[in-house]
Structure 1
Amino acid sequence: MSQIPDIEVLRYTAFSADPEGGNPAGVVLDASGLDEAAMLAVAAELGYSESAFLTGRGEPGGEETSGGAGSSGAREYTIRYFSPKAEVPFCGHATVATALALAERDGPGDLVFGTRAGTVPVTVTREGAELRATLTSVEPDVADIAPDDLAEALAALDWPAADLDPALPPRIAFAGARHLVLAAATRERLADLRYDFARLEALMHRLDLTTLQLVWRAAPAVFHVRAPFPVGGVVEDPATGAAAAAFGAYLRAEGLVPDTALLTLHQGEDMGRPGTLTVELRTDDARVRVSGTGTRIGD
């Protein structure tokens, strides 16, 4: 028997115009009457890696947009994200899904989401028959990982250290949530993902990680990525906007791409849910922009 409360739950996929691609998310445009237990129940029953809940709405040009975080006249909302197991501070694909749902209801334009991680502006534009959402991350940060923690992560993944790409060193990157970036030396290494769920989950809880960002560099500005998400009760995330933002910050911090760059991330292909994320870096802004299309999933 369904445990979902009597509310409207929309289903969207983000980072693909095909309902069978990208990363699906539940979207509740009016969650003002739901408590945490109810939101968690919705997310758990849907079973998607995350679902998004709008719990309140601000006034255009109000306090949430002060300091230049948003744009004048932007529609403001407070948003929360839940995986099937717990609340997460920020989720990129569910942000994109929510922005597209709002744009279909109210029209494209500028939005500002107040998240637990900080203020996240989003702009939705129409490109032909498709809508595209671009989120701007909170201020990012990149840090080293202790050798023992790296060894434990590789052991949980069953990845020999020799299979890593020495040109992309392991780091923990943040742009709203924390992600461990590990670069495979070959596409074959990235494709072979069979990990110890419980062991990796335990390490991620200890390090406060949301996902691992496993990457392979196909070209200077093109990457294939995968994102294990055991702390959310999900083996793998098909398209991960928060991790994409963190990865963009990592690449810039390590000097692996120019300060101004447009990057393409392919994710979900190994899961049969291909999606494309565009990551933009700007010299005059430490924040990272992540954009993609999406579409509603039929009931």
Structure 2
Amino acid sequence: MHIHRIAAFTSQGQGGNPAGVVVADQLPPPDEMQRVAADVGYSETVFSCPDGNGAWRTRYYSPEAEVAFCGHATIALGAVLGQTFGPARYPLALANAQIEVSAEKRGGEWVSVLRSPPTRSAAASPELLKEALDLFGYAADDLDPTLAPCMANAELDHLIVPLRSRATLARLDYDLDQGRRFMQAHRIGTVAFVFCQSETLFHARNAFAIGGVLEDPATGAAAAAFAGMLRDLGRVKHGEIVIMQGVDMGQPCRIEVEFTAEPGSPVNVRGTSSVIG
């Protein structure tokens, strides 16, 4: 089994979120995929094989559990498929959804675009929000008064918490075990804290305790859900946004999300990738 190690969502050739990528003739057994993901140690490792019907059967594993969908690993998978089989669109058959990733080479870098599952969002309950603020050491005064916290979904539920300043975002901290219990209890994929620098430029930090990771440098699934949330709230009805993530970790990542005005429709998440080591 060959494991590609790819940094996805790089920013000007730097940073990125590491993902393991395994492309094989058939998927290994689930316990083997879990073991490999734990050994690789990245927040996710993706496994993919032809399904015999023109698509690629695809599964994602964190070091501790299977994950229904992972954006940065999909971007990394697109780069590996493009490098191996050529620039193209590749349909992906996930455990519970059908998506696609395309890949092309631009200026010596592989650029992948994933077409997300449909999106949806709803206001976060006051009880859930208070529990999250207590866990992460924030107060109500730290919230952005112009953008409501939401539960947003693009195959996974993400709690999105907008903050009023970049400095507030920079002091994010929490206990990993408490965060894991919180996310398990509420079935949350990540907790994403965001700061709006402009109408189309955002900064984000994503806690991924449920996967055994304190913080994810880039989270394509949460980016897709966040774009759907902005559309639902009428904040950005269509067009493209840029999300900078991982900066406070020393792993700068750039996530570009393009979407139409149709409520709930899939969005396109774009990023560059590079080989690690």
TM range (shorter): over 0.9
Report how many aligned residue pairs link the two structures. 276
For the residue of structure 1 that corresponds to 2:266, the secondary structure is: strand
- Kept after mapping to 1: 8 A contact 2:123/2:148: no
**CA distance in structure 1 between the partners assigned to 2:134 and 2:25 by the alignment:** 41
Structure 2: how far apart are the matches of 1:297 and 1:79?
A: 22
Residues 1:148 and 2:127 are matched in the alignment: yes
Match of 2:245 in 1: 267
Residue 130 (structure 1) shift: 1.7
The separation in 2 between residues aligned to 1:262 and 1:174, in whole angstroms, is: 18
Give the aligned partner of residue 276 of structure 1: 254
Residues 17/265 of structure 1: CA separation in 2 closer, same or farther (3 Å cut) = closer
TM-score by length of 2: 0.96
Contact 2:27 2:47 in 1 (8 A): no
* Contact kept? 1:57, 1:77, Cα under 8 Å: yes
Confirm or deny that 1:8 pairs with 2:12: no
Matches within 5 A, 1:74-93: 76-93=55-72
Q: Mean alpha-carbon deviation: is it higher for 98-107 or for 23-32?
A: 23-32
CA-to-aligned-CA distance 1:11-44 (integer Å, 9 cap, x gap): 0010016775110000010172511111111111
State the Cα RMSD in Å: 1.5
Measure, in 2, the Cα distance between the counterparts of 1:33 and 1:90. Answer: 16
1:187: which partner in 2? 166
User: Which residue does the alignment assign to 1:24?
Assistant: 18
Q: How far 1:117 moved relative to its partner?
A: 3.5
Task: Measure, in 2, the Cα distance between the counterparts of 1:132 and 1:114.
Answer: 21
Q: CA deviation at 1:261?
A: 1.4
Could you tell me which runs of 5 or more consecutive residues in structure 1 were left unpaired when the two chains were aligned: 1-6, 61-75
Identity level (%): 38
Q: Which amino acid aligns with 1:271?
A: M
Using the alignment, how far apart are the partners of 1:266 and 1:162 within structure 2?
A: 23
Q: In structure 2, the residue corresponding to 1:293 is in which secondary structure?
A: strand
Which of 9, 28, 36 aligns to 2:30? It is 36
Deviations 1:158-178 (A, max 9, x none): 011110101111110000211
The CA distance in 2 between the partners of 1:257 and 1:146, in whole Å, is 23
> Equivalent residue of 1:219, what SS?
coil
Aligned-partner Cα distance in 1 for 2:43–2:221: 13
1:144 Cα offset (Å): 2.5
Q: Does 1:229 align with 2:229?
A: no
Partner of 1:158: 137
In structure 2, the gaps of 5 or more residues are: none
| TM-score (norm. length: structure 1) | 0.89
SS of the counterpart of 1:59? coil
Letter in 2 for 1:162: D
